[in-house]
Structure 1
Amino acid sequence: MKLTILGGGGFRVPLVYEAVATGATGLRVDEIALQDVDAGRLRTITEVIDGVRRRLEADGRITHAPRVTASTDLREAVADADFVFSAVRVGGAEARTVDERVALNLGLLGQETIGPGGLAYALRTIPVALDIARAVADLAPAAWVINFTNPAGIVTEAMRSVLGNRAVGICDTPIGLVRRVGRLLGVDLVAGERGAEVDYVGLNHLGWLRSVTVDGTDRLPELLADDAALEEIEEARLIGKDWVRSDGALPNEYLYYYLHTASAIERITASATTRGEFLAKQQGDFYLAATDSMAGDATSPHTDSSCCSSPADLWRQTLHEREATYMAESRDEERREEDVAGGGYQEVALRLMTALATGRSERMILDVGNISAERQDAPASQRIVPELPADAVLEVLCTVDGEGVHPHPVAPVELGRLGMMASLRAAERKILEAAMTGSREAAWQGFSIHPLVSSPTLGAELLDGYIAGHPEIAALLVDQ
C-alpha cells in the first residue's frame, strides 16, 4: 500500500510516520511517498523520520517500517497511490503572517482560518488544490484524498469538484471536543459505547455539539448545568460557561473568534508577534538548526548548543512548544496537558484510511458533502442540512467502512446557527468562484460579506492588501 503525503516537508509529517510505523490502527503501509516544493525541508523531515524510526526500534515499538521516498515532483509522488494526504501550505508560514497582518492593520481579526485571513489562505490555495485533485484523478483514480489543508472546508469542497466523494476533509478539533465530553461521562462516545450518539453539525471551525445521548438519554443538559464539569471542557473555558449553558450546546473552540472577536483582536495585537510570526520563526529556527545538525556544523551562527542535538531531538523539543501554545491568544493559562494530548490530525487521518482500506467500521467527525456527489440533483430534503447548497461541505458525524463515508443525519439546525453557517458559506462561495475563475470582483465580494468584515470598503482594502502581499493572489486575479 502506498501513502503519499503532499506537503511532505511539513513539520508534523513525522507524526504520521510514527503512527504508521507503530501500527496505531493495525494497517500496514509499504511506502510513504513525501512530496514538497521545498527540497531542503524534504531532506530535513526525511532525516527526522529516520531518527524517529531508530528511536522506535530501540524502544521496541515499531511494528513495520514503511519505505520512505521523497520527491519535489507532484505527479511522481501521487502516481499509483492508494491514499493521498494533502497537507500543503502555499507560500509557507511567511504567507500566513501576511494573512494576519493585512487584516490586523485594518482593525480586523488576523487568524489563519477564521475571518479574512482564512479567505486569503483559501484564495491562494484552491488553485493548487485543484491541480492536486487533477493529478490524482489522472494518475491514481482509485485513491482517496484526505485533506488536512486549511481552511479545510472550502479546500475540500474545491477538491470534491474534481474527485467527488473520494475527497474527504479532516479536522481534529471536533473529535477532541467529543472525547473531552466522553471522559467526563465515562463513555467512549467515538466508538458508540452504550448506544452513544452525538449530534455535531457545522462548517469547518464553525460547529456545535448539540446532544450526547447515552443509554437513550441526552446527557448534555446535565453537563451544561455543572460548573465543575464545564471547567474540564476546554471549549467551555474558552467561550464562557454562562454562554454555552445559555446556548444549549458546546461549540467548536474556534467559535471563540466569532463570539469574542474584539477580545481576540486585542489579545493578538497586544502580543509581540502573531501566531504566524511565532511559527515562522520557530519553524525557521528548527529547520536551520536541523540542517546544521545534519552538516555537523558546531560553529553555526544560527544556533548555539542546539546544533549538537539530532534533527529528531530538535523536532520533538519544538513540537511540544508548538502544541502547548496553540490558540494562545484565547487563554489566560498555558494549555493543559490533557488538552494537548489526544491524537491530532495524524490519528484522525490514519483511522479514516484504515476504515476505508480494511472495511473495519469507524465513527468520525469529517468534512463531507451536504449530499453525495452523485446525487446533487436530489431533492433538498435529502441533504444533511436542507437549507444549504448540495455541494456545501459540512462537518458532521460519519460512519466509515470499506464502502466509503456515510454521514449521519442531524437534527434540524436552529436559525441562529444556520444563519452563521449560511453567512460564512456565502463568503466562501465567492472566494471559491474567484479562485476558479480569477474574478477580482468575486474576491472583493467574498471579503466584503464575510461575517467578521461586513463592509465593501474594508473588503476592497483587504483585497488590495492581499494582492500586494501575495504574488499568488496577484497572479490569479487578472481579469480586472
Structure 2
Amino acid sequence: MKKYNVLVVGGGSTWTPGLLKGMCSRKETFPINRLVMYDIDYDRQQTIGEFAKVLFNEEYPEIDFSYTTDKEEAFQEDIDFVFVQMRTGGYAMREKDEKIPLNLGVIGQETCGPGGFAYGMRSIRDMVELVKDVRNKTKDAWILNYTNPAAIVAVALQQIFPEDKRILNICDQPENLLRSYGRLLDMNERDFDPVYFGLNHFGWFTHLYDQEGNDLLPKLRKTILEGGFRPADYEQRDQSWLDTYAMVEQMVQDFPDYLPNTYLQYYLYPDKVLNKLDPEFTRTNEVQAGREKRVFEDCARVAEAGTTKDSNVVENDAHGEFILIVAESIAHNKGNNFVVILKNDGIISNLPDDAMVEVATSLTANGPRPYAVGEIPTFYKGMIEGQYAYEKLTAEAFIEGSYSKALQALTLNRTIVSATKAKEVLDALIEANKEYWPELR
C-alpha cells in the first residue's frame, strides 16, 4: 500500500494532538511516509511538535516526522495531502471578533454574524496565499481545508481558483452531530446514511437512514424533544458548547421538519442568544482557560516525561478522525459518504448554481460525487438565499476592496439586520483588522 506525504498547516492548533493520535490509529489504512507540521507561531508549534515526537516514538516510529516555521521546508513537490487548520490572528483577534460586536449590542461569535465576517476577511488572505504556495510546488496535492469560517473561505476560493478541483472545504460539525445521534441511539455513526442540505454552519439533516434503509429521523426527533440533546463527547466539552447543543431541542420544537445544525441558533434566535452572551467573558476566554490550557500543559508534560502514559491531551477526536477518513476515502477511491462543501451546480435545484452548499457526497480519487437534493421548501430556501448573499458579498468585499459590499453583507446578516448597526460594527471591525484586511474603499 502506498504511503503518503502529508503537510499539516496550523500544526500549533489545540486540535492537532487528536489529529496525530488519529494518524497512529489509522496507520494501517492510511499509512504516512512523511509528516511535516507547519505553523507561523514557533512556541505553539514546538509544544505540539515535541509532544508528537514522543507519541510517534511510542506508536508510529516508522513515520518520518518534523515540524517547522520555515515555509521552504514545509512546502515540497511530493506532497499528497495538505491538512489546513489556520487561525489568522490567533486568539487575540478571535477575542476581538467576539467582543467588539457584543459591546455594540449584536452577537459576537467566531464564525457567525459580524465575528465570522471579520474572521472570514482575515482567513481569505492566508488561504489564497496557501493555495498558491502549494500549487507552486505541486498541482496534484489534495488541499483539505478546515480553516474557518469555512463557508466564506469556500466561496472566496471558488471565485479565485475556479478550475482547482483538488481543494475540498470540510467541517467537522456535521460529523460531530452524527456522532451525537449515534450516542443517543446507541449506534455507530459510520452506519448512518445521512441526507443533508444547506451551507456550512447553516444546514439541516432531512433523513438519517440505517443499514436497512429505515429513516431514524422521526425517532431522533422524538428522543430530542423528550430528553434534550448533548454532544457525543459532552464530558469533555466546555459549558458554552453544552448550551449550544441544548438549543437544538428548541429548534426542533419550533421547526420540526428536519434536524438542524447547532449554529442555526444564532440566526433563528439572535435576541435570545445575545442575552446569554457575556461581553466580558466570551468563548475565546473559556477556551483559553479550558481546552487551550489543558492541551498545552499536557503536551508540555508529555514532552518532559518522554511518555504519553496517563496523558489526556486528546479531546474530541471527531476533528482529527474526520479529516483522516476523508483523505482515506480519496486516497483509496473508496467512495465513502460524507457531508462536505461543494459548488452547487444543480445539487439543490432551486438555489443558485454558484452557491457553495454543504451536502452529502461520495468521495473518490477523482473527486466528490454529490447526491442530488432537488428542490427545498420555501422557508429553508429563503434562509439559505439570504445567508449565501451575505457570504458572497463578504468574499467580493475582500477581493474588490469594497466598503459598500462589506456593508451590504453585514446588513443582510440575520444577527444584525439594521443597516445603521451594520455600519457601526463594520467601522469598528475595520479599525481592529487594519493589519489583516485589504483597504476598503
Query: Conserved in 2, the CA contact under 8 Å of 1:6 and 1:85?
Result: yes
1:225 Cα deviation after fit: 3.6
Query: Conserved in 1, the CA contact under 8 Å of 2:295 and 2:313?
Result: no
Match of 2:21 in 1: 18
Q: 1:281 to 1:227 in 2, by over 3 A?
A: closer
Query: Conserved in 1, the CA contact under 8 Å of 2:228 and 2:249?
Result: no
Structure 2 CA distance, aligned partners of 1:397 and 1:38? 35
Query: Conserved in 2, the CA contact under 8 Å of 1:355 and 1:401?
Result: yes
Structure 2 CA distance, aligned partners of 1:126 and 1:386? 28
Code of the aligned partner of 2:22: A
Map 1:95-114 to 2 at 5 A: 95-114=93-112
1:308 Cα deviation after fit: 11
Structure 1 CA distance, aligned partners of 2:152 and 2:14? 23
Structure 2 CA distance, aligned partners of 1:314 and 1:115? 42
Code of the aligned partner of 1:420: M
Match of 1:376 in 2: none
Q: What percentage of residue pairs aligned between the two structures are identical?
A: 27
Match of 1:71 in 2: 68
Map 1:13-52 to 2 at 5 A: 13-23=16-26, 26-52=29-55
Structure 2 CA distance, aligned partners of 1:207 and 1:244? 16
Q: 1:25 to 1:449 in 2, by over 3 A?
A: farther
Would you identify which runs of 4 or more consecutive aligned residues in structure 1 move more than 6 Å? 306-309, 311-315
1:76 Cα deviation after fit: 3.8
Query: Conserved in 2, the CA contact under 8 Å of 1:82 and 1:143?
Result: yes
Match of 1:277 in 2: 285
Query: Conserved in 2, the CA contact under 8 Å of 1:177 and 1:233?
Result: no
CA deviations 1:392-424 (Å, max 9, x no partner) are 211111111222211111142111111111111
Q: 1:74 to 1:437 in 2, by over 3 A?
A: farther
Query: Conserved in 1, the CA contact under 8 Å of 2:14 and 2:292?
Result: no
- Given the alignment of the two structures, is residue 220 of structure 1 paired with residue 182 of structure 2, yes or no? no
Structure 1 CA distance, aligned partners of 2:223 and 2:292? 44
Structure 2 CA distance, aligned partners of 1:448 and 1:315? 50
Q: 1:312 to 1:437 in 2, by over 3 A?
A: farther
Asked which structure has the greater RCO (Cα within 8 Å, sep 6+), the reply is 2
SS in structure 2 of the partner of residue 471 of structure 1 = coil
Which of 152, 172, 176 lines up with 1:154 in the alignment? 152
Map 1:180-191 to 2 at 5 A: 180-183=180-183, 188=188, 190-191=190-191
Query: Conserved in 2, the CA contact under 8 Å of 1:236 and 1:250?
Result: no
Match of 2:129 in 1: 131
Q: 1:266 to 1:42 in 2, by over 3 A?
A: same
Code of the aligned partner of 1:406: R
Code of the aligned partner of 2:323: A
Query: Conserved in 1, the CA contact under 8 Å of 2:5 and 2:32?
Result: yes
Match of 2:335 in 1: 361
- Given the alignment of the two structures, is residue 267 of structure 1 paired with residue 276 of structure 2, yes or no? yes
Quote the RMSD (CA, aligned, Å): 3.0
Q: 1:226 to 1:43 in 2, by over 3 A?
A: closer
1:185 Cα deviation after fit: 5.1
Structure 1 CA distance, aligned partners of 2:337 and 2:263? 22
SS in structure 2 of the partner of residue 399 of structure 1 = strand
Match of 2:207 in 1: 211
TM-score by length of 1: 0.79
- Given the alignment of the two structures, is residue 122 of structure 1 paired with residue 120 of structure 2, yes or no? yes
Q: 1:290 to 1:204 in 2, by over 3 A?
A: same
Code of the aligned partner of 1:190: R
Structure 2 CA distance, aligned partners of 1:441 and 1:206? 25
Q: 1:189 to 1:286 in 2, by over 3 A?
A: closer
Match of 2:438 in 1: 476
Q: 1:440 to 1:246 in 2, by over 3 A?
A: closer
- Given the alignment of the two structures, is residue 8 of structure 1 paired with residue 6 of structure 2, yes or no? no
CA deviations 1:3-49 (Å, max 9, x no partner) are 11111122211221211122266111111111111122221111121
SS in structure 1 of the partner of residue 107 of structure 2 = coil
Which of 307, 310, 318 lines up with 1:344 in the alignment? 318
Q: Structure 2, unaligned stretches of length 5 or more?
A: 232-243
Q: 1:143 to 1:446 in 2, by over 3 A?
A: same
Structure 1 CA distance, aligned partners of 2:229 and 2:339? 21
Query: Conserved in 2, the CA contact under 8 Å of 1:21 and 1:66?
Result: no
Structure 2 CA distance, aligned partners of 1:290 and 1:233? 26
Structure 1 CA distance, aligned partners of 2:338 and 2:106? 34
Structure 1 CA distance, aligned partners of 2:147 and 2:198? 18
Structure 2 CA distance, aligned partners of 1:243 and 1:286? 34
1:165 Cα deviation after fit: 2.5
- Given the alignment of the two structures, is residue 86 of structure 1 paired with residue 89 of structure 2, yes or no? no
Which of 416, 422, 425 lines up with 2:379 in the alignment? 416
Code of the aligned partner of 1:458: K
- Given the alignment of the two structures, is residue 199 of structure 1 paired with residue 195 of structure 2, yes or no? yes
Match of 1:451 in 2: 414
Map 1:160-171 to 2 at 5 A: 160=158, 161-162=160-161, 164-171=164-171
1:88 Cα deviation after fit: 0.6
Q: 1:458 to 1:286 in 2, by over 3 A?
A: same
Match of 1:174 in 2: 174
1:182 Cα deviation after fit: 4.3
Query: Conserved in 1, the CA contact under 8 Å of 2:54 and 2:303?
Result: no
Query: Conserved in 1, the CA contact under 8 Å of 2:54 and 2:306?
Result: yes
Of structures 1 and 2, the larger Rg is shown by: 1
1:385 Cα deviation after fit: 1.5
Code of the aligned partner of 1:71: T
Match of 2:234 in 1: none
Map 1:285-364 to 2 at 5 A: 343-364=317-338
Match of 2:241 in 1: none
TM-score by length of 2: 0.86
Code of the aligned partner of 1:275: R
Q: 1:45 to 1:186 in 2, by over 3 A?
A: closer
SS in structure 1 of the partner of residue 119 of structure 2 = helix
Query: Conserved in 2, the CA contact under 8 Å of 1:199 and 1:411?
Result: no
Structure 2 CA distance, aligned partners of 1:289 and 1:242? 37
